[in-house]
Amino acid sequence: MSNRELVVLGTSSQVPTRERAHHGAVLRWDDELVLFDPGEGTQRQLTLAGVSAASITRICITHLHGDHCLGLPGVLQRMTLDGVDRPVDLYFPASGQEYVDRLRHASAAHDTLPVREHPVHGDGPVDTWPGLALHARALDHRIDAYGWRLQEPDGRRMLPDALAARGVEGADIGRLVREGVVHVDGRRVSVEEVSEPRPGQSFAFVMDTRRCDAAVDLARGVDLLVCESTYLTSEQDLADSYAHLTAAQAGQVAAAAGARRLVLTHFSQRHSDETLFAEEARGFFPDVHAARDLDRVPVPARRPSEGSQPRG
Ligand SMILES: [Zn+2]
């Protein structure tokens, strides 16, 4: 199993159908498990997907329409039941605070889960944690909606042959990483000569929105883009009326952004065959995965670093 992958929980917009659960997904990223937009039934979808609710570290909600949040009470109560006592971070549009308050107190429950709320008031960086930063951008929907981007900072990859050639070993490697330079047998070794650039990976989550520049900016160069595609081009009038994207528009967003892989989800109940959405998006972007409930989609392997040859 990849240690960076998307686990699709549900793919239906507005209402669950016989084939699709309400919308929702989790992103496994090393030690983080980020839950996005828990629609109704998320708790059961987690079970079917083999993902432990107790492992969720953060929850991001794009907006407070029901297909993106009605599963929140169940998930939070389940985490309490499972004895989670570490903080869980919850990110959401600040204007949705009253709905978040109600969802967090939707039924009689003994609430001991330490939830840290992060209402988002505008575009920009929202939070950082070891090796990852969370950014938000306002999308263009009928109520406040934010898209999310997770960005790993660029780093460096150590080259074992180069280290060995210069006699750098053991504790000296740690010192080299921390201080950028180390002296071995009187010779100076810099981190640049024994490592190569390692571009950070990134992920974007673009939900309910019209076509907008913010969607493209969020997805700029990401390794994995999850994008709503509620309708097909033949329903462009519905997409415009309800402020949603068609599959073609989702493909155009991915292409304009230079994303690497596109996952389509949040399908209208009018369509039971998601391959129609993939076909349409492929007219604009090659690597398209039209999600089915419980699919697992790996974050593509890291891009090879550019302009750097191993030395040593
Ligand atoms: Zn929706």
pLDDT tens digits for range 154-187: 988 899 999 999 999 999 999 998 899 999 999 9
What pLDDT score does 308 carry? 43
Amino acid present at 31: D
Q: Is the pLDDT of residue 2 over 80?
A: no
What pLDDT score does 309 carry? 42
Amino acid present at 50: G
Over range 29-44, report the average pLDDT. Answer: 97
Beta strands in 74-229 (DSSP E): 88-93, 115-120, 124-129, 132-138, 146-151, 155-158, 181-184, 187-190, 195-198, 202-206, 224-228
pLDDT tens-digit readout, 236-279:
999 999 999 999 999 999 999 999 999 999 999 999 999 999 99
What pLDDT score does 48 carry? 98
CA 69, distance to chain mean position in Å, is: 16
What pLDDT score does 109 carry? 85
pLDDT band at 111 (very low <50, low <70, confident <90, very high): confident
Over range 37-52, report the average pLDDT. Answer: 97
pLDDT band at 304 (very low <50, low <70, confident <90, very high): low
How many whole angstroms separate alpha carbon 8 and alpha carbon 53? 14
pLDDT tens-digit readout, 73-104:
999 999 999 999 999 999 999 999 999 999 99
**Coil, helix or strand for 117?**
strand
Q: Is the pLDDT of residue 117 over 50?
A: yes
Q: What share of the chain in percent tops pLDDT 70?
A: 96
Kindly state the greatest CA–CA separation across the chain. 72
What pLDDT score does 307 carry? 44
Q: CA dist 254 to 47, 202, 282, Å?
A: 31, 14, 10
Residue of 67, 223, 293, 295 marked catalytic: 67
CA of 219 to the centre of ligand 1 (A): 19
How many whole angstroms separate alpha carbon 163 and alpha carbon 174? 12
CA of 163 to the centre of ligand 1 (A): 51
CA of 240 to the centre of ligand 1 (A): 14
pLDDT band at 312 (very low <50, low <70, confident <90, very high): very low
CA of 235 to the centre of ligand 1 (A): 16
Q: Is the pLDDT of residue 18 over 50?
A: yes
CA of 62 to the centre of ligand 1 (A): 9
How many whole angstroms separate alpha carbon 293 and alpha carbon 226? 14
pLDDT band at 311 (very low <50, low <70, confident <90, very high): very low
What pLDDT score does 286 carry? 97
pLDDT band at 47 (very low <50, low <70, confident <90, very high): very high
CA of 138 to the centre of ligand 1 (A): 15
101 a catalytic residue: no
Instruction: Provide the mean pLDDT of the chain.
Output: 94
Over range 11-18, report the average pLDDT. Answer: 94
